[in-house]
Structure formats: structure tokens, C-alpha cells
Amino acid sequence: MSELREAPAERGPLFEVVGATLKREIASGRFAGADVLPGERELSEILRVSRTTLRRAIAGLVEQGVLFHRHGAGTFVRRNPPHVEQPLSRLTSFTEDMRSRGFAASSREIERGVFLPTPEEAMMLGVSPRDSVFRLARLRLADGVPMAMERAAVPARFIGDPARVGESLYVALDAEGWLPVRALQRLRAVVLGAADAALLDVAEGSAALDIHRIAYLADGRCVEYTRSFYRSDTYDFVAELTLSPDARRRGAGPPR
Ligand code: 16G
């Protein structure tokens, strides 16, 4: 470890040089054994930089998905992007899905507020163009890796105080007594444009799943319209198919 040094040719702010050095060392398999980075003090001594610089460098690598923090356990090297198999028959939230798989769910907020609906939102939610909607656009991450870009719209009357919507939209809806019980979802393949590709940390033109979800309350009112782009390299949507009761009877063979 003692030869871990910045390359003299590298220029830029010190924390970026340190980040690039760490990234190169990781790529060369430096931490392959344990996958956990040495402690902050040890690493800052090895690299001969302040802990503040080191922290900024590490934060940058967490943002890029190279490293991730595990609460109370340290900073780890990510070897493979999380891969998720998602059943298409259960109505669950992103936070719930990721937690159940042992990934730490987080979000980077792009937009939040109460606005007049776009024509698309008004149509999908069945609200008047004069009714307000609460809009929340977020990049969703699992263990620090971008997984999906979601733009959710909820009729404002279902959100008491927009500022109180925390990590999970469904937890907030549940707290107000408006948790959806049913949803319709449409999936199609798309090619990502530059802006969404940059957010999802994939090359422009990569394939993604474009998902529209309309979620309903028990009384049939629409509570959510969300348009999402899911990275196709991290998500498999799995549907269970069953034979119709008629066909099942036919397949059971002649009655004895
Ligand atoms: C899921 C839903 C999304 C919903 C979000 C709530 C899909 C394709 N989308 O990502 O419609 O808004 O969960 O997650 O499954 P949250 O409660 O963690 O904010």
C-alpha cells in the first residue's frame, strides 16, 4: 500500500487527483481481497492528503458508483452493479424493493414542488388542468449506483405537506391514508437521450425500459402517475404466467 501515489501527470483539484488515483488502484484489483477501504486516517496518511480532501475524493467515487458506504461497516468497493429481478405482479415501492434485496436505497432529487399539471399528467391522473399536482423527480440509487430515473405526479390533495415527503413517496402516501392498492404499468424499450443517460451513468444511446405507472386507491381514484426510465443492465422484470382455468381443465386429460 505504501506505493499508492498520485501520478505526476495528473492535474486538477487535489481531491479529483486523489479520486482518480484511488479509482486506478481499485481497477487494478488493489482492494480485491477485502473489498473494504482502509480507514480514513490510514488512507489519508498513505496518500499524504488531508482527511477533508480524502472525504471529498471518496464522496466523488460514491457518486460515480465506484464505492459505497455501508452503515457502521465502512466504505466498500463495488464489484458489480446491483442486479435486480423484479416480479411484475406485486405493487411495491423502490425503497421497499431495494431493502428487501439488501441494497441501501437512496435518491437524488431533481425536482420537487406543487405545480399545474402538464397535459399528460392531467390526462393520466384524470384531474382538471387547473388542479395542482405534487411533482417529484428523482434519480433512484441502490448502494449508490443509479438504477432508475422517476418522475412522479400525485394530485396535490393527497399530499398534506410536500416538504414532509421523505425518502419514500409510498411511505408518505401511506401516512396520509392514500396508499395505492392497484396499479397499471406499461413497459417499453427505449434508447436513452443524453440527459437521462448522464443521470443514469450509462452511455448515450443505451437501452432502457420506459415505464408508465398509474396507481389507484381502493375507490378507483388515481393517486399516482409515474414515468420512469430503468437501466436495462440492472433490471429484469419477471412475469408469472398461468394457464386459464379452461385450458387447465383441458390439459388435465380425459376424465376417468
Ligand atoms: C417504484 C414505482 C414508482 C413509485 C415508487 C415509489 C416502478 C416502475 N415504479 O419505483 O411508480 O413512485 O416505487 O417508491 O416500480 P418510494 O416509495 O421508494 O418513493
Ligand 1 lined by 225 (C-beta under 6 Å): no
pLDDT digits (tens, 9 = 90+) for 129-152: 999 999 999 999 987 888 999 999
Q: How confident is the model at residue 38 (pLDDT cuts 50, 70, 90)?
A: confident
- CA 166 – ligand 1 centroid, Å: 13
Average pLDDT, the chain: 87
State in Å: Cα 92 to ligand 1 middle: 7
| 152 Cβ closer than 6 Å to some ligand 1 atom | yes
Report the atom number in ligand 1 closest to the C-alpha of 93.
Answer: 13
> Which of 28-42, 119-133, 166-180 bottoms out in mean pLDDT, i.e. has the lowest?
28-42
- What's the confidence (pLDDT) of residue 28? 65
Say whether pLDDT at 3 is over 90: no
Ligand 1 atom nearest residue 228's Cα: 8
Ligand 1 atom nearest to 171, measured from its CA: 17
Residue 53, pLDDT > 80, answer: yes
Whether residue 68 has its Cβ less than 6 Å from ligand 1? no
| Long-range contacts, stretch 211-216, CB < 8 angstroms, 24+ apart | 211/185, 211/186, 211/187, 212/124, 212/185, 212/186, 213/183, 213/184, 213/185, 214/124, 214/125, 214/183, 214/184, 214/185, 215/91, 215/180, 215/182, 215/183, 216/180, 216/181, 216/182, 216/183, 216/184
Cβ of 93 closer than 6 Å to ligand 1, yes or no, is yes
To test the pocket of ligand 1, the residue of 185, 222, 226 to mutate (highest count of ligand atoms within 8 Å of its CB) is: 226
- For atom 5 of ligand 1, the residue with the nearest CA is 93
Name the residue of 90, 91, 92, 93 to mutate for ligand 1: max ligand atoms within 8 A of Cβ.
Answer: 93
Task: Specify whether the CB–CB gap between 24 and 66 falls below 8 A.
Answer: no
Q: Are 197 and 203 in contact (CB under 8 A)?
A: yes
Res 60 pLDDT > 70: yes
The alpha carbon of residue 122 and the mean position of all alpha carbons in its chain are separated, in whole angstroms, by 25
7: pLDDT confidence band, cut at 50, 70 and 90? very low
Atom in ligand 1 nearest the alpha carbon of residue 152: 12
pLDDT of residue 195: 93
pLDDT in tens, 179-229: 999 999 999 999 999 999 999 988 899 999 999 999 999 999 999 999 999
Atom of ligand 1 nearest to the CA of 172: 17
Question: Is pLDDT larger for residue 79 or for residue 42?
Answer: 42
The alpha carbon of 227 and the centre of ligand 1 are apart by a number of angstroms equal to: 10
Of 251 and 74, the one with more pLDDT: 74
Task: Give the per-residue pLDDT at 36.
Answer: 82
Query: Within the chain, what is the greatest distance between any pair of CA atoms?
Result: 84
Q: Sorting pLDDT into bands at 50, 70 and 90, what band is 1?
A: very low
pLDDT of the residue at 79? 66
